[in-house]
Amino acid sequence: MSEIVKLTKSEFAAHVALAAKAIRDGYVIVVPLEHSYVYLCDAFSHDAVRTMHVMRGDALGVAAQVLISDAARAVGIIRDSSADLQKLTAAFWPGLLSITAKPQLALNWDLGDDRNLDRINLRVPAAEFARAVTAEVGPLATASATLAGQPAINSIDDISIDGTHLALIFDGGLLTKGLPTTIVETTETGLKVGRIGAISQAQLAEVTPDISLIGN
């Protein structure tokens, strides 16, 4: 069975170290983000990423999202950054903005798509614990702590998977439900909005006026 760790401010550093060790040892863990619980594992561990997908029942070819600790780290991960993209990340990271972009070709990882998509989805979370863990370990692969196709969960009581490969569950309590991330995609013709979520198109346009919805 997985160990449940109740997150507390007084033991924050110890809990980060515990999570980091589990991830470095090749395990999948559960942590709270802003509005839901997610799986986390080392983005460069093929076995851990594969385990996470199996636990969720993901179809072949589904790629995990990647969490990083700050916008500066995106430079070494994506190859199609731009001045407008950097303005957006400066304005909305940490936070509920996800960027879909082309990864650097030298990265030795497989997020679940066998590197066929040539696209990754990247974010700096506002959730303090998850951000501290990725600052300690490096880029982390993540996915909702549910079976594929199921709605996100905001309580660890709703985690219903076999804990054999799940080392730790970090309990941040009942999370407030909220809107999903807004997704911005890099394209050859500029930045496009793939999904409107917590950040409106008007808010994006205040930072990058030329941004438009996909299809426009």
CATH number at residue 8: 3.90.870.10
Question: pLDDT tens digits, residue range 113-135?
Answer: 998 999 999 999 999 999 999 99
52 falls within a domain: yes
Domain that holds residue 22: 3-81+104-176
Give the residue ranges of DSSP H helices in the chain.
Answer: 12-24, 46-56, 83-92, 128-137, 201-207
* 194 located within any domain: no
> Is there a domain that residue 77 lies in?
yes
* 93 part of a folded domain: no
Return d(Cα 41, Cα 39) in angstroms, integer: 7
Convert the pLDDT of each residue in 16-44 to its tens digit: 999 999 999 999 999 999 999 999 999 99
Question: How many distinct helices (H) and strands (E) make up the chain?
Answer: 5, 11
Determine, yes or no, domain membership for 136: yes
Q: pTM for this one?
A: 0.95
**Rg, the chain, Cα only:** 17
Does the residue 112 lie in any domain? Answer: yes
Q: Could you tell me if residue 109 is inside a domain?
A: yes
pLDDT digits (tens, 9 = 90+) for 48-105: 999 999 999 999 999 999 999 999 999 999 998 999 999 999 999 999 999 999 999 9
Domains contained in the chain, number:
1
The pLDDT of residue 13: 98
Is 163 inside a domain boundary? Answer: yes
